Amino acid sequence: MKQLIRTSILAAGLLWGIGALAADHVVQELNSGPDGTFVFSPSYVVVQPGDTVTFQATDQGHNSEAVFMPEGATGWKSAISQNLTVTLTKPGVYIYQCSPHNLFGMVGVIVVGSPVNVADAKKAADAIEKKQIMNQGRMTTIMQKIH
């Protein structure tokens, strides 16, 4: 019984320690920012598995919606003008957009750990960019940051 208790305490401590190492990254939803109009700032974020990303509704009328992600990953869609925090555990490239402003090029990319699905992500990014009527080239510029 004592061994079971010690093992449980050790396991809980390890899990708490892993959680304590996770970082929170903030992405603002903006009408205007360093990269122009209708932007996420930053629009490209690299995180580690277990980190969180908080989409901050800095300017009203925006949201964040995952439109491409690694196979088996869980997507997200925030309500308009509401903050949302997501925990990302599956390695790979995630592409997200503002639903009301996706045609305006309000897009972003998160790389979790290693970009294991980069070839498929680039195909998805090309398809997304072809639909944009404003800020053309933004998606390509963001995708070029992936190493």
Q: Please write the tens of the pLDDT for every residue from 45-83.
A: 999 999 999 999 999 999 999 999 999 999 999 999 999
pLDDT at 20: 61
Kindly state the average pLDDT of the residues 1-22.
49
pLDDT at residue 12 is higher than 60: no
The pLDDT score that the predictor gives to residue 8 is: 41
Specify the 3-state DSSP secondary structure of 27: strand
Comparing 40 with 17, the larger pLDDT belongs to 40
Structural domains present in the chain: 23-143 (2.60.40.420)
Its pTM surpasses 0.75: yes
Which tokens belong to 20?
């304590």
Q: Is 27's pLDDT higher than 90?
A: yes
Per-residue pLDDT band at 147 (split at 50, 70, 90): confident
The share of the chain scoring above pLDDT 70, in percent, equals: 86
Q: pLDDT at position 11, please?
A: 43
Sign of CA dihedral 102, 108, 113, 116: positive
Supply the pLDDT for residue 16: 46
CA distances from 102 to 34, 55, 67, 128, 136 (A): 18, 16, 10, 8, 11
Q: Ramachandran region of residue 72, left (φ > 0), alpha (ψ -120 to 50) or beta?
A: left
Q: Cα separation of 28 and 33, whole Å?
A: 9
